[in-house]
Amino acid sequence: MSNIANKIVVITGASSGLGAEAARHLAELGATVVLGARREERIKTLADAITAKGGKALAVETDVTDRASVQALVDTAVKTYGRIDVLLNNAGIMPLSPLEKLRVDEWDLMIDVNIKGVLYGIAAALPHMKEQKSGQIINVSSVAGHRVLENSAVYSATKFAIRALSEGLRAEVKPYNLRTTVISPGAVQSELLNSIHDEATAEQLRSVVPGFAIGADSFARCVAFAISQPEDVDINEILFRPTRQTV
């Protein structure tokens, strides 16, 4: 894990769950973490907790649906620390529902957060990384980006899109010595279930998923593994599930 020490890592969706746990883990391994999320108090509290343990962290209020906000997050990291080594595009929502319910506003929001938010992160970080001739962009997909189950059509579409975007990015950035990684978690303990507002779908998942969901530290270890590789090793995709998860 020595390749993580002293790296500047920008994380979106850092106020809870996967993003927060990744921030804690990477900080413990010596990275400087720049935390982006809408819930400013949450990320400030997390940054304070990290620094209290001897780590380095900076909180920047960020809305990934606003391109200027994402640009400000990345630019603040570069202005403060001189560079950006890793961008972890982690922010995401999962308001699952049957298509026939026509929850179009939720479809639009998933597209804005899960796809456009990732694109805004790439747009903000890529120019800096090209100039540096170094860097790594990690995008978070999902097992739902590999399999489509009932009530997950739009969510899965956004996560399939992340895989396509990441593969296209991987092919294009080789001249600049950049690395790209997609991480696709299965059922991991987070606040994603709280974003489901269709009561029937929410009740169904809440009765099953908590029984086998694994801790967010599993995701954090995958992120650390991808970052920790020597600079000539490009881990392109990690797909993982709880051992008990069947789909």
How do the domains of the chain map onto residue ranges?
Answer: 8-240
Predicted local confidence at residue 220, as pLDDT: 98
Cα–Cα distance measured from residue 175 to residue 65, given in angstroms and rounded to the nearest whole number: 29
What's the pLDDT tens digit per position in 161-197?
999 999 999 999 999 999 999 999 999 999 888 899 9
Task: Report, as an integer, the average pLDDT of 26-52.
Answer: 98
CATH of 8-240 given 3.40.50.150, 3.40.50.720, 1.20.120.1200, 3.20.20.70: 3.40.50.720
pLDDT tops 80 at residue 238: yes
Q: Could you tell me which of 124, 60, 56 has the C-alpha nearest to residue 89?
A: 124
Q: Which helix (H) or strand (E) holds 128?
A: helix 117-132
Q: Coil, helix or strand for 96?
A: coil
Quote the pLDDT of residue 94. 95
163's tokens: 């895989």
Give residue 192's pLDDT.
Answer: 86
39: Cα separation from own chain's centroid: 16
Phi, psi of 196, deg, nearest 5: -90, 115
pLDDT at 55 over 90: yes
What is the model's pLDDT at position 191?
Answer: 86
Q: To 10 degrees, the CA torsion angle through 39, 41, 47, 52?
A: -160
User: Which carries the bigger pLDDT value, residue 133 or residue 2?
Assistant: 133
Burial class (CB in 10 A: 0-12, 13-18, 19+), 102: exposed
Contact 43, 61 (CB under 8 A): yes
155 catalytic per annotation: yes
User: What per-residue confidence (pLDDT) applies to 154?
Assistant: 98
Residue 1 clears pLDDT 80, i.e. is over it = no
What single-letter DSSP state applies at residue 111?
I
- Give the active site residue among 81, 120, 155, 176: 155
**pTM for this structure?**
0.96
